[in-house]
Every structure is written in structure tokens, then in C-alpha cells.
Structure 1
Amino acid sequence: LEVVPQFIDKGNTLGVLMTKLSVLPEEVIAIGDGVCDVTMLQLAGVGIAMGNAEDSVKACVDKTTLTNEEEGVAIAVERAILAEIRPAEVPLDQLNMRARHALMGNLGIQYTYASEDRVEATMPVDERTRQPFGILHGGATLALAETVAGLGSMILAKPDEIVVGMQVSGNHMSSAHEGDTVRAVGTIIHKGRSSHVWNVDVFTSTDKLVSSIRVVNSILKKK
């Protein structure tokens, strides 16, 4: 039993909220399961009924999700919002900012490009990433490759999946010297349901190939 003031319902309350926030109906998704939710579901650009909703409610909406016992709201959010995020919209500046205190930031790694099949990043050859005698440390190069492949797999993974590194191996063909900035280019060569395989080539600023690295990521379902 829900008790509300006369002439007040979820639909006109949503309307007031949209006006205050300057939000258009097509920018709103509403999820409900009861008859009292119908006006709200019809006002929203996308109305989604829970799987346990009455048939009269389901008849008034655009989509139906699973029941409340099957995490129907989470599924609706994943399908209607998260699945719509495109690789071109990946906020590289935000990713770089958030990682400034992690390994990536400590090594000076910066993402510069990201798509579904290619990711690029740069890393300076300085006191953080060089060997004592002034050339790029192989371990830092592998960390750069894993960073690039990790983002690539995260772009490809579904909303209910996580990415963990499984294997990394590389061949170092030449050196990069202190003061230079190397560029890593990662391309996916295998996209499986449970694993991704990436090839990451690392170049100097003059496009000399320094290392070629193979990274294998495991794709796991969130628990």
C-alpha cells in the first residue's frame, strides 16, 4: 500500500525533477514493477518493467528486464547504459589522471589512443624507467605492454566481466636511451570468450622497434 497526496504520483514527480535538472525525457530511464509506476515509466524516454511486474505494467513499457530476484535492475543498467559506451568515448585524460599514483603513473605512462582493436601509450625513458647505465629497463617495457593490453581488454570486455593478466613475454631487439620517450602500440590478435591475446610493439621517438611483446589476458565473470 502506497499513500501519497492527492494528484501526486511518480510521473508528475519525475516531471518536476526533470524540470529542475533541465533533463529531457529522452535522457531518462525509469524502472518499475507496480501499477503506480506506470505514469513514471511512460514519461521516461525508456521505460523498463521488472520481470516480476504485472502484465498490465509490461504492456506500457519499452523493455522488460529480469525479476528482482535475478538482479533485474543491474541487468537493465548494463544493457541500457553500460553497453552503450563506445571505445571512442573512453576518457583517456581521466584514466591518466586517476592512475597518477598507481604503477602506471609512477612510470610516467600516458594513454594516447584507444579503440576496440588498438591501444597506444607513451612512457619516458628517465630515472624511473632506465637501467643504471642509461637505457630503457626491460621490466618497465613489459609493464608498459601490460598497461596497454589491459586497457584494450577492458574496452572489449562485457559489463559483467573483469580482466586479469595471465602471461606476458617479450623480445627486446634494441635499446632506447635516457631522454627519449617510447611509444607502445597494442593490437589484438585473438579475442576469445575467456582470453584475449595482444601483440604490443614498443618504438623509440624515431620509430625504431625496441621490443615486441605478447600479452595474454584472462576474462572472468564478476562474482
Structure 2
Amino acid sequence: MIWRREASLEALNAMGNGNMVGLLGIRFVHLGDEVLEATMPVDERTRQPFGLLHGGASVVLAETLGSVAGWLCTEGEQKVVGLEVNANHLRAVREGLVRGSCRALHLGRRHQVWQIEIADEAGRLCCSARLTTALV
């Protein structure tokens, strides 16, 4: 297991109250030994004007997963800040839920790199993102 902090899904979901995570309806749904997963609805909050999942909303889901996963890998007063995020939008989604799955590619003393795969309800990959974080 890579996590250094104790956390429940309830506690992680409570972190979204009063900020963009809660506003977009992002919900943590699985905390495994080496993976963190969350869902986000594709609705009026997350669609672009042409009716498709907004790429920026996918990036919010990806950065949320990577940042929270990064924090779970820290101890004490350490914090995690994003340095770089990139995302490839591979498939359009019009409705339903998307599910992001986050795994560590690198867990160093000063930096972390996270791979986030976002899929539609049929399990088809719609976005592949990578987040680099710094530990401060």
C-alpha cells in the first residue's frame, strides 16, 4: 500500500464541500491499495456549450484525483501542489457518469507523477491525463 494517511471515502468526499470538487459533483468511490477512483456526472455543470463533457471538467477530475492521492502519500504537515497537468481527450461523452482512476507513476521525495484514466459508463477511455506534483 502506498498511502501514508488514514482516510475513508466519507472523509475524502467531505473535503469537496464548499469548493469546485463539490460544485461539479465529484465523488470518491474507491480507495484501494494503490488506486484512487472518483466519479463525475456529465450534466449542465460539466458540459460545454455543444453538449459534450467539457475538457476542463475532465482536467478538474484528473487534478482532483492526483492531488488527493498525492496528499494521501504524505505525512504530517506536508502538502502537495500541482506543477503540471496534461490531458488527451479521446472520446466524447454526452451524459451519465465518468469514472477516473488514478495510479502513481513516480513517488519521490520532492515530486510525484500520477496517471489518471477517465472512462465513460461503458468503460471506454475518454481521457488520459498525467499530473506532476511537488511536495512542500
In the superposition, the TM-score normalised over structure 2's length comes to 0.92
CA displacement at 1:161 relative to structure 2: 1.2
Identity in percent: 37
More strand by share: 2
The whole-number CA distance in structure 2 between the counterparts of 1:165 and 1:116 is: 23
Question: For 1:106 and 1:116, how far apart are their aligned partners in 2?
Answer: 28
Residues 142 and 153 (structure 1 numbering): CA distance in 2 closer, same or farther, change over 3 Å? same
Taking structure 1 as reference, are residues 211 and 113 closer, same or farther at Cα in structure 2, changes over 3 Å only?
Answer: same
Instruction: Give unpaired runs (5+ residues) of structure 2.
Output: none
User: Does residue 217 of structure 1 match 2:133?
Assistant: yes
Equivalent residue, structure 1, for 2:74: 157
Q: CA deviation at 1:92?
A: 1.4
In 1, Cα distance between equivalents of 2:128 and 2:9: 24
| Structure having the higher Rg | 1
For this pair of structures, how many residues does the alignment match?
134
| 1:201 maps to 2:117 | yes
Q: Which residue of 1 aligns with 2:97?
A: 181
Which residue is equivalent to 1:191?
Answer: 107
Unaligned runs of 5+ in 1: 1-84
Residue of structure 2 equivalent to 1:11: none
- List, as ranges, runs of 4+ consecutive aligned residues in structure 1 with deviation greater than 6 Å: none
1:86 deviation in Å? 5.8
Matches within 5 A, 1:69-148: 89-115=6-32, 117-148=34-65
- Larger RCO (alpha carbons 8 Å, 6+ apart): 2
Q: Give the secondary structure class of the aligned counterpart of 2:36.
A: strand
In structure 2, the partner of 1:12 is none
Q: Alpha-carbon deviations, 1:51-70, whole Å to 9, x = none? A: xxxxxxxxxxxxxxxxxxxx
Contact 2:4 2:75 in 1 (8 A): no
Contact 1:116 1:155 (8 Å CA) reproduced = no
Q: CA RMSD in A?
A: 1.6
